[in-house]
């Protein structure tokens, strides 16, 4: 299983999560970032081409060694400095109230203690700082949601701990963020059970 999760899965994500529909979403989610940004679950750096030039630096938190290596290649092609800043979004070794903005794309599904990660983002963001996200979760259609409930245990084992039934933006709001914008849709070219996303942004009050 370690070969699958540690070696193969990060490489599969690197390819499968780089299709045109996801690239369009990444471009939108990153478009209004500026200043110092903390990104949790930065993966293989697929957001790096979309960091705007007004971003002064990205502090990238990512546990997978393979993903970090893939990201290093990609990060050299962006003018925005990217600093690897730790392995675990649940415990950030970063100062309080420092960051202007935070970013996560398809990450909160995989972090075991989602609330610990959201609390950490709140801690390191400046008051009024914005958190931009796209996350997938429970679908509103009963049939799809029932399938998600049944499929989740196996899916989670195959997909590195990914849960398909978390509810966004409710979880983000519950953690203490104020949601400013949240759009829901099924992603193109993705199975419905894993493709219902919430794209938006929130602020630390
Ligand atoms: C589906 S991938 C998405 C990667 C990247 N955000 C993207 O959009 O391409 C989920 C990512 O969350 C990372 N992850 C898992 N547990 C984590 C944790 N505790 N803290 C931070 N990232 C974590 C995984 O290693 C993986 O890179």
Give the pLDDT confidence score for residue 173 in this predicted structure: 98
> 79: CA distance to ligand 1 center in Å?
23
Q: Hey, whose CA ends up nearest to atom 13 of ligand 1?
A: 41
Q: Ligand 1 within 6 A of 43 CB?
A: yes
The structure's pTM equals: 0.98
**Nearest atom within ligand 1 for CA of residue 14:** 9
Q: Which residues contact 127 (CB under 8 A, 6 or more apart)?
A: 97, 204, 205
Mean pLDDT, 10 residues at a time, over the chain (205 residues)?
Answer: 93 97 98 98 98 98 98 94 98 98 98 98 98 98 98 97 98 98 95 97 98
**Nearest atom within ligand 1 for CA of residue 162:** 1
Give the pLDDT confidence score for residue 107 in this predicted structure: 98
Q: Which of 62, 114, 121 for mutating ligand 1's site (highest number of atoms within 8 Å of CB)? A: 62
Under 8 Å between Cβ of 137 and 196: yes
Q: Ligand 1 within 6 A of 62 CB?
A: yes
Give the pLDDT confidence score for residue 189 in this predicted structure: 83
Which helix (H) or strand (E) segment holds residue 146: the answer is: helix 142-158
Q: Hey, whose CA ends up nearest to atom 1 of ligand 1?
A: 106
Distances (CA, A) of 69 to 75, 90, 172: 10, 21, 30
């Amino acid at each position: 299983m370690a070969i699958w999760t540690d070696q193969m899965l990060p490489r599969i994500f690197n390819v499968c999560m780089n299709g045109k529909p996801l690239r369009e979403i990444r471009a939108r989610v990153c478009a209004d970032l500026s200043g110092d940004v903390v990104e949790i679950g930065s993966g293989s750096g697929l957001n790096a081409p979309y960091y705007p030039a007004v971003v002064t630096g990205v502090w990238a938190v990512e546990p997978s060694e393979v993903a970090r290596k893939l990201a290093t290649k990609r990060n050299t092609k962006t003018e925005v400095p990217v600093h690897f800043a730790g392995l675990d979004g649940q415990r950030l070794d970063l100062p309080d109230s420092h960051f202007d903005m935070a970013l996560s794309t398809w990450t909160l599904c995989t972090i075991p203690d989602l609330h610990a990660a959201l609390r950490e983002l709140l801690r390191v963001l400046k008051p009024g700082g914005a958190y931009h996200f796209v996350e997938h979760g429970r679908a509103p259609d009963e049939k799809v949601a029932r399938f998600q409930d049944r499929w989740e245990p196996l899916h989670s084992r195959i997909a590195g701990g990914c849960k398909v039934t978390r509810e966004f933006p409710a979880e983000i709001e519950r953690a203490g963020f104020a949601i400013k914008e949240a759009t829901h849709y099924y992603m193109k070219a993705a199975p419905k059970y894993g493709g219902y996303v919430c794209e938006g942004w929130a602020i630390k009050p």
